[in-house]
Structure 1
Amino acid sequence: MRQPLIEEDATRRRWRRRCDQDACGGVYLLTAGLAFLLGLGVGLTLSFYLLPAPGPVTPSRYSEIRPNFLSVSFVNRSLSSVAGKELAVNGIYWSSQVEARLPSGYGPEEEEAWLALTHSAQVLKVEEGCGRIHNRLLTLQDGSRSCCRYRQNTDQIQGEVFSYYLARLLGLRNLPPAALSVVRYHGPVWARVQRELALARWAEERVVVLTRFIPSLRAAHIPVSLRTSDRHLHPTDVPGGANESHAELAQWSDLVVLDYLTANLDRVVNNLYNLQWNPAMMDAPAHNLARDPYSGLLLFLDNESGLLHGYRLLDKYERFHASLLRALCVFRRSTADVVRRLHLHGDVGEKLQLSLEDNPPEVRDLLPPLPERSVRILNERIARVHEQISWCERQYGP
């Protein structure tokens, strides 16, 4: 009979211990909760007294993110610098730091000096060279040398000289000084090289272009960003920090504009067209483009296909010209400003004719003006370049 009492007492003790543990657990939970509430209250009170009062909100550069995914402007692209470095691009324009690094090139002073020399100095020597079979390398009386362009076809002379005048209108300094002359065996300029002229089969009363010879030039390559089928040179493709590579890219932006306006077939479009036979063509040196290794100046050579011959072949080559223009969204501000003025006034034909009229009468009598059809097409292409600049401003402007 004692065994059941023992079991009953043991059961009561277990229930008592369990109840004591539950009571203690409740106390523990209550204590922890009170401590948490006390700490929260102290923390909020201290933060109220210690933190500074909020001031006016200043928008950061990240507040200018634009959630417009239908265009490429969803980020403010004008911030194309790296902290601590000079700006390379400001909006869609090469910065003043890049402009300051550009080679001086050939400006009005060099052109005037070359004109004065070629109109008065005798030609002492005629040699083969300077590209095509009819061209000749001339040595002038003062020792200067000239690549002289002779053509049976007048429109190639027109293309060369009017492309040169257009580059001058745009403010480009990448074309060596050029002058026009008339071949006259017995004239004061040519009298001492009559035999050489006869051997070259140069006819009298032909207008030729005398371009200043630039020695020691090197090949120039197409920028990597313009070589592939998805080519583009936009602000986001330009790394921060103005340096010499940006100075060369700035010259390339001018080259794309000039060659689009003139529809030049014999430079980058030549490389693009020949891709169908040579897949590595865009890695080869650009045709009719050279680089001065001392100054970094790019020389835009041989522009005779511009404005006439190139315009006749637009149906065949326009897709190449257009792809290069569409790829460009960084410009020199001075070039863009001239394009705007020419587009606004529509007077590029008159300006080019005025440049021709600065030549001696014998040149003006023999070389026709730029045809009206060419002037019309040139104005249309100026409008397209202006449209491209405006589009880029909308995409990358502040």
Structure 2
Amino acid sequence: MGGYTNFGGAKPGLISWDSDAKSTQLSSAVYKNLCLLSAVFAFSVGLTIGILIPLVYLKTPPRNDTVALETVNASAVIRTIFLNNSYAYKNDSESDKYPTVSFVKSFVPLERSDEDLVENGIFWGKKIERALPEGYKEQKHDVWQDYVKKAVAVKMENGCGRMQNRLVTFQDGLKGCVRYRQNTDQIQGELFSFYLAKILNLPNLAPSAVSIVDLGQPLWRNLRNEIASAQWNSNRPIVLTQFISNLNSANIPAVFKPVERHLNKLDVLNMTRNDEDQIGSFVELAQWSDLIVFDYLTANLDRIVNNLYNYQWNTNIMDAPAHNLAKKADSDLLVFLDNESGLLHGYRLLKKYEIYHSILLDNLCMFRKQTVDVIKRLKTKGDVGVLLRDMFDRLNSDSVKDILPTIPDKSVKILNDRIDRVYNQILKCESVFANT
């Protein structure tokens, strides 16, 4: 009975059960709607992320590639220091893609008056060649070579650059700069760079000769105390260079300083039309064109490459005077000083510095014709090593050759490769700029 009573008293419970069922049905419907909304939301988010990730990835490199990207960007900035911005250059979208085409589009026929400035599109003209300073040619080198063999030094003092270099005075009052180095390859670099300049007919290097530090020789016998003070060792090779007075610092020309500049026929003609009195500037630029070729061949680290390398830390360094370059105040002759890194030391560091050497050469399309003629002959004959070694043997005594080695085979091979590189640059410039 009690059970029934309990069961019979369960009617209110039946009402409660029906209410729960309705609530459960309602909850189920809401749950289904929420699931549907969640699925739609998840699909939308997933689709959005799926689209955005590739876009972001294409624009933003992976974290591990940051260093590599910075290196690539730095190289790209360096390589464009002188590119795509001649005075006649047009910065339209087409020329951005095809800079060489932009040069061609900008061509203007040479006027008769221009032919004295530019010949055949890539050579400095007769007017510029006539205005160039004479400098130091073969006869002056021969005179100095003979003079050193008989010279007697009476005084030696600090000067002529760093470290153990010295300024010597001879008994007739003439002076010379002595380059003394512990490393023989730096003496070789100085000497064979000088010989290469003679082969190229460059008048910008002071006459030089090799001697041996020997207190028994007339050249040195009066300098015993000074040599001891300088901590020179006996039987060491030195390079003795004629002292040049009245030198001023030489700044980097404006055409080479800013980002994205180069030098070609169009630059020359447009500089002339903007300012007719440009002969002095062109005389300097013609010597710079020789300097760029010479420093590329020798891989000289201690001149303009020094400025380019430090540009990444100091953007004002291109406004500073060029390292180891001077200008004679009385003739505007550029004097190429301190070539000891050429042909040996510089060649060992090409992996690090080649990009800086190439910047200048790749953007040069104005040359002295006599320099181009020698480059083409050296390319055809392939005998630069023979010429350098013959000059070394002919100009130096047996005592010098016993102590100072000739230029190594490895250096000759690299030099020939670099002659090929300059030759190809000339051909490229001819194909774009030469008159037809």
1:327: which partner in 2? 363
CA distance in 2, matches of 1:318, 1:288: 19
Q: 1:113 aligns with which of 134, 137, 143?
A: 143
Q: Distance in 2 between matches of 1:194 and 1:334?
A: 45
> Given that residues 178 and 210 in structure 1 are in contact (C-alpha distance below 8 angstroms), is that contact kept between their aligned partners in structure 2?
yes
In the alignment, the residues of structure 2 paired with residue 309 and residue 69 of structure 1 have an alpha-carbon distance, to the nearest angstrom, of: 35
Q: Aligned partners of 2:113, 2:122: CA distance in 1, in Å?
A: 21
* Structure 1 equivalent of residue 205 of structure 2: 175
Q: Is structure 2 residue 117 aligned with structure 1 residue 88? A: yes
Matches within 5 A, 1:190-205: 190-205=220-235
Equivalent of 1:135, from 165, 168, 190?
165
CA contact 2:300–2:341 (8 Å) conserved in 1? yes
Deviation at 1:75, TM superposition (A): 4.9
Letter in 1 for 2:116: L
Correspondence for 1:256: 292
1:272-308 deviation per Cα after TM superposition (whole angstroms, max 9, x unaligned): 1111221100010000000001100000000000111
Q: How does 1:280-359 map to 2 (within 5 A)?
A: 280-358=316-394, 359=396
Asked if 2 retains the 8 angstrom alpha-carbon contact of 1:78 and 1:235, the reply is no
Counterpart amino acid of residue 326 in structure 1: D
Match for residue 419 of structure 2 among 371, 382, 392: 382
1:360, distance to aligned residue in structure 2 (A) = 1.6
CA distance in structure 1 between the aligned counterparts of 2:107 and 2:124, rounded to whole angstroms: 13
Contact 2:249 2:321 in 1 (8 A): yes
For the 8 Å contact 2:100–2:432, the answer to whether it is kept is no
Q: Aligned-pair distance for 1:85?
A: 6.4
Deviations 1:2-29 (A, max 9, x none): xxxxxxxxxxxxxxxxxxxxxxxxxxxx
Distance 1:248 1:376 in 2: 31
CA apart distance, 1:245: 1.2
Q: Which runs of 5+ in 2 are unaligned?
A: 1-97
Counterpart CA distance in 1 for 2:361 and 2:100 is: 21
Distance 1:201 1:342, change over 3 A: same
1:362 aligns with 2:399: yes
How far apart are the structure 1 equivalents of 2:404 and 2:420? 28
Quote the residue 2:281 is aligned against. Answer: 245
TM-superposition CA deviations, 1:98-140 (whole Å, max 9, x none): 0000000001111111111111010110000111110000001
Equivalent residue for 1:218, pick from 242, 245, 248 = 248
User: Out of 410, 422, 434, which is 1:373 matched to?
Assistant: 410
Alignment CA distance shift 1:199-1:229 (3 Å): same
Report the AA paired with residue 229 of structure 1.
V
| CA shift in 2, pair 1:148/1:79, >3 Å | farther
Which amino acid letter does the alignment assign opposite residue 356 of structure 2?
F
Q: Does 1:144 align with 2:174?
A: yes
Q: TM-score, normalising length from structure 1?
A: 0.80
Q: Secondary structure at the match of 1:342?
A: helix
Letter in structure 2 aligned against 1:154: T
Structure-2 separation of matches of 1:167 and 1:332: 14
Q: Runs of 4+ in structure 1 displaced over 2 angstroms?
A: 68-81, 83-87, 239-242
Q: Distance in 2 between matches of 1:310 and 1:304?
A: 9
**Counterpart in the other structure of 2:239:** 209
Q: Given the two structures, how large is their TM-score scaled by the length of structure 2?
A: 0.73
| Post-superposition offset of 1:72 | 4.3
Judging by fraction of residues, say which structure has more helix.
2
Count of matched residue positions in the alignment of Structure 1 and Structure 2: 331
User: Which residue does 2:302 correspond to in 1?
Assistant: 266
Which amino acid is 1:134 matched to?
Q
Q: Secondary structure at the match of 1:270?
A: helix
> Does the 8 Å CA contact 2:189/2:339 hold for their aligned counterparts?
yes
Q: Does 1:122 align with 2:159?
A: no
1:80 CA drift (Å): 4.7
**1:44-83 aligned within 5 A:** 71-75=101-105, 77=107, 79-80=109-110
Structure-2 separation of matches of 1:171 and 1:78: 32
Q: How much has 1:216 moved relative to structure 2?
A: 1.6
What is the distance in 2 between the residues matched to 1:140 and 1:78? 57
Which residue among 101, 104, 126 is the counterpart of 2:134?
A: 104
Find the aligned partners of 2:238 and 2:219 in 1 and give their Cα distance. 13
1:158 equivalent in structure 2: 188
Partners of 2:314 and 2:148 lie apart in 1 by 41
Amino acid at match of 1:167: A
Cα RMSD (Å): 1.8
| Equivalent of 2:216 in 168, 186, 206 | 186
